[in-house]
């Protein structure tokens, strides 16, 4: 039986081990012919002929989508009543995962997007900002987000999608064991020397994206490092499309 399956659930395909990835969250484009794994935003179509990962924000609001959420579904500062905002992404508000009812309401909405990913033909889904609790000023806990993660993984598996842990190196073991994530999509594990935190849990099922502006050594050295996953790509921070001057895309030889 394939990973993540039960007798009544659809079969789940996992990404090909060691395959070349591309991370196209800034806009879809025709991939390099060597690429076999492509991640795109949920508003895009999956890539033909490649293992396709659907990216969505499961723990914070998407940019420009605060109005989709009621005030009791987003995290509010108890002193000011203001939304709690991600300091690095001021157009994203943290979702309130503290109660069963709150988690269920979030899972209902995100579940619609998950089903949309499956209907569009994606193979897997990744949920961004698993670690939003670390930016909540102490209002959220890891267990709060773990409870929601379980619901989202179950929703993905129910429609035949594999579920990827996104970042959160320090929580990888529990997220895999307790939430049921099937593989990991990670950013800058080589730059922060934390690839082993993922590979110890997911083995070869780790996809790493490194960025040019924070890479502390030449990309060729990253490629030669046995601790770095075989599925690794170097991208520009903005993840722009090839027609932009800032575009960078590089694979290991």
**Per residue in 124-138, pLDDT tens?**
999 999 999 999 999
Q: List, in order, residues 6 or more apart from 196 with CB less than 8 Å away.
A: 227
**Per residue in 110-121, pLDDT tens?**
999 999 999 999
**Per residue in 156-192, pLDDT tens?**
999 999 999 999 999 999 999 999 999 999 999 999 9
Whether the Cβ atoms of residue 112 and residue 161 lie closer than 8 Å to each other: no
Answer whether residue 240 shows pLDDT above 50: yes
Whether the Cβ atoms of residue 240 and residue 250 lie closer than 8 Å to each other: no
Residue 239 has a CB neighbour count (10 Å cut-off) of 21
Distance between CA atoms of residues 62 and 56, nearest Å: 8
Phi, psi of 116 (to 5 degrees): -65, -40
Distance between CA atoms of residues 37 and 134, nearest Å: 30
Considering the entire predicted model, what is its pTM? 0.94
């Amino acid at each position: 039986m394939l990973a993540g399956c039960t007798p009544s659930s659809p079969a789940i395909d996992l990404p090909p081990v060691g395959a070349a990835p591309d991370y196209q969250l800034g806009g879809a484009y025709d991939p390099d012919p060597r690429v076999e794994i492509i991640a795109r935003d949920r508003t895009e179509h999956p890539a033909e002929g490649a293992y396709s990962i659907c990216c969505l924000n499961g723990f914070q609001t998407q940019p420009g989508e605060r109005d989709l959420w009621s005030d009791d579904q987003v995290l509010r500062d108890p002193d000011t009543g203001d939304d709690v905002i991600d300091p690095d992404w001021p157009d994203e508000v943290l979702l309130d995962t503290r109660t069963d009812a709150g988690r269920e309401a979030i899972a209902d909405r995100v579940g619609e997007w998950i089903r949309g990913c499956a209907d569009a033909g994606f193979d897997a889904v990744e949920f961004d900002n698993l670690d939003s609790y670390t930016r909540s000023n102490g209002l959220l806990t890891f267990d709060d987000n773990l409870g929601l993660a379980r619901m989202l993984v179950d929703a993905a598996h129910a429609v035949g999608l594999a579920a990827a842990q996104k970042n959160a190196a320090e929580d990888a073991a529990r997220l895999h064991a307790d939430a049921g994530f099937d593989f990991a999509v990670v950013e800058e594990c080589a730059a922060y020397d934390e690839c082993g935190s993922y590979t110890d849990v997911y083995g070869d099922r780790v996809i790493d994206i490194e960025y040019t502006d924070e890479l502390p050594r030449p990309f060729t050295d990253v490629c030669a490092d046995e601790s770095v996953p075989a599925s690794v790509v170097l991208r520009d921070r903005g993840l722009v499309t090839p027609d932009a001057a800032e575009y960078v895309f590089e694979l290991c030889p």
